Chain A
Amino acid sequence: MSSDTLNLTLRVWRQAGPDKPGGFCDYQLEGVSTHMSFLEMLDVLNEKLIAAGDEPVAFDHDCREGICGMCSLMINGQAHGPDRGTTTCQLHMRRFASGETITIEPWRASPFPVVRDLVVNRSAFDRIIQSGGFVSVNTGNAPDGNCIPVPGHRQEIAMDAAACIGCGACVAACKNASAMLFVSAKVSQLSILPQGQPERAGRVLNMVAQMDKEGFGSCTNTSECEAACPAEISVSHIARLNREYMKALIFADR
């Protein structure tokens, strides 16, 4: 019978501030329930640290149900841990074995500076969205739901792209710290739908320009992002971004 508790060694990245030097600290954690989520396990660690008068480990989280994209952790060298299509908050401790050492690091990318310990600043993504990830709609009466016809399969593709939660796992996992999967999901989602047409050409040009300005790497089509993405966004969206970019470059009337 497998036991319901684990004894773990946690190797956690500790860093007091953005410009402070960082390093790993080892913590022993005994009696971790296998039914806990990964974040609950970190809560237990922090309670223990606080009780001992130590600084708790800073980590990001919000919804704890896989929709907000805040819980960005590199767990044993994998963005959001070992499972596909799973965020850190959805990862359960039963995935680990007693006696294991778990290495926990923040996302590492120059455009995502470490704020403290495991928390990074992902505002670069917000600025990319501001540069083009929107549609302009004149307000007024709410339009009838089906007055703009969109074929079902197009809705599905747009929805698949819109599943991106902006967590940054694609950047974290990519050997080039490239943000192409994120940007391509945002470009795709709007370029497929009629509402996205007016800003279509400008959107892709501006978002790519902003992506570069933030200092993300370039895409080498390694597909590591797709494997790491908790929302399972496909690299076919990167191909769509490339098509959009070429079209904008050649045909854009702007």
Chain B
Amino acid sequence: MSALLRILGLPALFLSKVPGLGSVIRALSTSVGQKLLMATSGLSLVDFLIVHLGGNLQLYAGEEVFNAYAAKLHSLGPLLAIAEIGLFSMFALHIGLAVSTAAMNSTARASSYAMKQTKQGLFVLPSGGASNWMMVTGLLIFVFLVSHILDMKLKKGFGVSYPPAAADAGDATNAFQNVKAVLQHPPHAILYFVCLIALGIHLSHGIRSALQTFGLNHKNWNFILRWTGFLLAWAIAGGFISVVAWALAVKN
């Protein structure tokens, strides 16, 4: 654990040596600082998901509209590349800090209780609320992410037969048909479905947790904040799941 923590701490150690950055990096390396960065990266990923879902829902408008949207996105060229680099660094930061804070936590509770119970209310999930499932659901999201990039970006999804690209289309393959090819492959549909449920669980704690990490907790607002977090989480997950269901329902 301590070796792992030291390795994960290397970027922070390096950055803290940059003149003028030292004190800020040190303050962001504490447990509270790391949670602030986790919340920032987590909410940026949520922003990305909302935009991405907005794009995906255009599938419902039909092949032409969706492919036009895909073409427009690709025409952004270097802007898209910059956005992708930003996105991947948010993922790297978020996952790195998840591992680092989890290592901190398991060192702090080195020996566990023979018996553990809670005074908190009823939970839908076994062993407590979504907050106890962040690592598991996070890992599933990671599995999803890897598969998703193989499937949709690199078009190398295991066992998927993609429609042949039109000879003159260059790399602008038929995005609409590709999505359908991936999602109509039963193992992929199952994987996507399971991982998207995991996403809903992860965000149903994550969004509210991030707001608390940013200090948003006030008795007048807590009801609204809690429900906003919960509903936004399942609106995002549900939106993506609806795409999987749609692909299975439409003919050819």
Contact = CB atoms under 8 A, between A and B. Distances in A.
A242 B31 contact: no
B27 A177 contact: no
A236 B212 CA distance: 8
Interface residues of A, number: 49
A41 interface: no
B105 A108 contact: no
Contacts of B107: 110, 215, 217
Nearest to A223: B120
B30 A212 contact: yes
Interface stretch (A130-138, A192-200, A203-211): A203-211
B240 to A, nearest CB: 25
Contacts of B101: 217-218, 220
Interface stretch (B44-52, B78-86, B128-136, B183-191): B128-136
25 contacts: A24-B114, A74-B115, A77-B115, A78-B119, A84-B119, A110-B110, A173-B118, A175-B109, A205-B27, A217-B104, A217-B107, A218-B104, A220-B101, A220-B131, A222-B131, A222-B132, A223-B120, A227-B120, A239-B215, A242-B32, A242-B35, A242-B215, A243-B215, A246-B214, A249-B33
A108 B118 contact: no
Contacts of A220: 101, 105, 131, 134, 209
Nearest to A240: B215
At the interface, is chain A mostly helix, strand, loop or mixed?
A: mixed
A100 to B, nearest CB: 13
A168 to B, nearest CB: 13
A219 B110 contact: no
Nearest to B130: A222
- Interface-centre pick from A109, A218, A239, A246 (highest chain B CB count, 10 A): A218
Contact of B36 (A217, A224, A246): A246
Nearest to A209: B30
A239 B222 CA distance: 12
A77 B120 contact: no
B108 A111 contact: yes
A246 B215 contact: yes
B119 A227 contact: yes
A37 interface: no
Nearest to A248: B27
B65 interface: no
Contacts of A24: 114
Nearest to A249: B27
A178 interface: yes
Interface of A: 11, 13, 24, 74, 76-78, 82, 84, 103, 105, 108-111, 173, 175-178, 205, 208-209, 211-212, 215-224, 227-228, 235-236, 238-243, 245-246, 248-249
A178 B131 CA distance: 14
Nearest to A103: B115
Given A209-B30, A212-B31, A220-B131, A176 B108 contact: yes
A105 B114 contact: yes
Nearest to A79: B119
A95 to B, nearest CB: 13
Contact of B214 (A176, A224, A242): A242
Given A219-B31, A219-B35, A110 B109 contact: yes
Given A224-B120, A242-B32, A246-B215, A103 B109 contact: no
A153 to B, nearest CB: 12
B24 interface: yes
A169 to B, nearest CB: 10
7 smallest A-B Cβ distances: which pairs?
Answer: A239-B217, A243-B215, A217-B108, A176-B105, A77-B115, A217-B105, A177-B108
Contact of B105 (A82, A175, A205, A249): A175
A216 B108 contact: yes
| Most A Cβ at <10 Å: residue of B32, B109, B115, B215 | B32
Nearest to B116: A77
Interface in B54-113: 101, 104-105, 107-113
Contacts of A178: 31, 105, 108
A234 B184 CA distance: 49
B119 A109 contact: no
A239 B216 contact: yes
B208 interface: yes
Contacts of A175: 105, 109, 128, 132
